[in-house]
């Protein structure tokens, strides 16, 4: 039986107080807290195994290399990929930029089209905007319907031989919408279009199988799935990976170097120039072990329970408007909303006085907020340690904030 309160005990930070109040952490879309197991894995690595990886013949280097490559295997197994298809990066943003520089810039030509949506996070928007400018391509946006879903008819109407890439998030960081990646990939294949998925808000909440999804690129961050900051992943499908040139140069990625020229080793090392982030990759492996010990299906069901508890309670608050779909089936574990006449920062600051951590602002989606005519929304994002009581505390907090802020 899943018990969020028992799970909460695995996270040291969740027992601290904020201004004398119990911490109610509802900013998991920004970053999740870390279980003791992950923190311990970092400490243990630095205390027992730390060395630079690859090439070293001494014991510590052997151990560090094995642990780093084991983490890569854990990530690969977690998303049903090959270890050689896993490139460690600093996070989703770097992963997406690598797709833009190493693949898109070489394969997208003048007059070609990149498709994205208006709800993309800036990190899955600006790289394509800039790439399009550099190569003379066009960035086109697929509509989002009134109820926050991807407009499939609009997507279908925009698919043609000029489209070379669809860049879309697995789940929106504001609307919460889970986008139908499998269906999108199926459509894309019919037109020989590549699909790059921003999985930052997807993989912490949904079981991801890149083979089953059929995507060509899948990017995500460790820190949004209980892992450390500074480590991310870029999955690139094998047949594409083999055609890619490196996008950065340095140690660890070469086959041979002479005064006049250099050649590159095979993937994934070809894309990991410089000393990699060994400790945090190991920490991410530890986070994956923790998530698997609970089960991604169990996590998803728990979040559905939380969403179903929260949606009617939040909707019942006068003047509160929920952004995105109004059912749990189409939603990942977050709810963003605006409150008539109140500014998001003010509501968040009042909630903070009650120990409740939520995010306010445009959440790095300025085009979406402009379109919806909202300056700063409020976002509560849940994870495995949140309970229905946390949501009740949030609802009480919002009512308190409205009470003191409204004239």
CB of 232 within 8 A of CB of 240?
no
- Catalytic option among 131, 185, 215, 364: 364
Between 95 and 360, name the residue whose CB sits nearer to another protein. 360
CA distance 148 to 105: 31
Closest distance to another protein from the beta carbon of 253 (Å): 37
- The secondary structure element, H or E, covering residue 169 is strand 163-169
Between 258 and 318, name the residue whose CB sits nearer to another protein. 318
Closest distance to another protein from the beta carbon of 19 (Å): 6
Closest distance to another protein from the beta carbon of 367 (Å): 11
Residue from 81, 100, 298, 303 nearest 198 by CA: 100
CA distance 158 to 90: 33
Concatenate the DSSP letters of all residues of 152-168 into one string: HHHHHHH-STTEEEEEE
Between 164 and 363, name the residue whose CB sits nearer to another protein. 363
Give me 80's structure tokens.
Answer: 């049903």
Between 19 and 312, name the residue whose CB sits nearer to another protein. 19
Instruction: Identify any residues that bridge with 194 across adjacent strands, giving them in sequence order.
Output: 165
List alpha helices for 210-322, DSSP H: 210-213, 238-241, 278-294, 296-315
Closest distance to another protein from the beta carbon of 325 (Å): 23
Concatenate the DSSP letters of all residues of 352-391 into one string: HHTTEE-EEE-TT-HHHHHHHT-SSEEEEE--TT--HHHH
Closest distance to another protein from the beta carbon of 369 (Å): 6
Instruction: Identify any residues that bridge with 378 across adjacent strands, giving them in sequence order.
Output: 337, 360
Between 118 and 149, name the residue whose CB sits nearer to another protein. 118
> Residue 44 — φ and ψ, nearest 5°?
-65, -40
CB of 253 within 8 A of CB of 265?
yes
Instruction: Identify any residues that bridge with 320 across adjacent strands, giving them in sequence order.
Output: 339
CB of 112 within 8 A of CB of 135?
yes
Residue from 376, 379, 354, 384 nearest 172 by CA: 379
Give me 22's structure tokens.
Answer: 């119990």
Q: What is the 3-state secondary structure (H, E, C) of 79-122?
A: HCCCHHHEEEECCHHHHHHHHHHHHHHHHCCCCCEEEEECCCCH
The verdict on whether 364 is a catalytic residue reads: yes
Residue from 279, 229, 265 nearest 33 by CA: 229
Closest distance to another protein from the beta carbon of 228 (Å): 23
Between 205 and 369, name the residue whose CB sits nearer to another protein. 369
Please report how many Cα atoms fall inside a 13 Å half-sphere around the Cα of residue 345, on the Cβ side: 4
Closest distance to another protein from the beta carbon of 353 (Å): 5
Between 5 and 370, name the residue whose CB sits nearer to another protein. 370
Between 231 and 350, name the residue whose CB sits nearer to another protein. 350
Burial class (CB in 10 A: 0-12, 13-18, 19+), 266: exposed
Question: Footprint of another protein on this chain (CB under 8 A)?
Answer: 19, 343-346, 349-350, 352-353, 360-362, 366, 369-370, 375-376, 404-405, 407
Q: Known catalytic residues?
A: 364
């Amino acid at each position: 039986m899943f018990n969020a309160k028992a799970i909460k005990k695995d996270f040291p930070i969740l027992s601290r107080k904020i201004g004398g109040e119990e911490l109610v952490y509802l900013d998991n879309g920004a970053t999740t807290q870390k279980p003791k197991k992950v923190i311990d894995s970092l400490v243990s690595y630095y205390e027992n195994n730390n060395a630079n990886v690859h090439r070293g013949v001494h014991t510590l280097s052997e151990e560090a290399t094995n642990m780093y490559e084991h983490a890569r295997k854990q990530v690969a197994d977690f998303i049903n990929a090959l270890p050689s298809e896993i490139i460690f990066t600093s996070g989703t943003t770097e992963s997406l930029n690598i797709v833009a520089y190493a693949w898109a810039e070489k394969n997208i030509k003048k007059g070609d089209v990149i498709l994205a949506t208006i709800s993309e996070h800036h990190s899955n928007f600006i790289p394509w905007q800039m790439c399009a400018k550099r190569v003379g391509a066009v960035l086109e946006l697929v509509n989002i319907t009134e109820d926050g879903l991807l407009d499939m008819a609009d997507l279908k109407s925009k698919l043609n031989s000029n489209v070379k890439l669809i860049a879309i998030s697995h789940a929106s960081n504001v609307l919460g919408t889970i986008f139908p990646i499998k269906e999108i990939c199926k459509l894309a294949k019919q037109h020989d279009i590549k699909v790059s998925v921003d999985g930052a808000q997807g993989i912490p909440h949904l079981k991801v199988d890149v083979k089953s999804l059929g995507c060509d690129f899948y990017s995500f961050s460790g820190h949004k799935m209980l892992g450390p900051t500074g480590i991310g992943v870029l999955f690139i499908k094998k047949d594409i990976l083999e055609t890619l040139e490196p996008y950065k140069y340095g140690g660890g990625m070469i086959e041979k170097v002479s005064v006049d020229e250099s050649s590159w080793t095979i993937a994934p090392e070809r894309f990991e120039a410089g000393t990699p982030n060994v400790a945090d990759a190991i920490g991410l492996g530890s986070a994956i072990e923790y998530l698997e010990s609970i089960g991604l299906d169990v996590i998803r069901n728990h979040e559905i329970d939380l969403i179903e508890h929260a949606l009617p309670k939040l909707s019942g608050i006068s003047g509160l408007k929920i952004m995105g779909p109004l059912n749990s089936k189409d939603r990942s574990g977050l709810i963003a909303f605006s409150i008539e006449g109140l500014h998001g920062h003010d509501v968040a600051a009042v909630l903070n006085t009650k120990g409740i951590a939520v995010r306010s602002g445009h959440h790095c989606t300025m085009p979406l907020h402009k379109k919806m005519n909202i300056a700063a929304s409020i976002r509560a994002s849940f994870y495995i340690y949140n309970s229905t009581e946390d949501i009740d505390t949030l609802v009480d907090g919002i009512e308190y904030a409205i009470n003191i802020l409204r004239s």
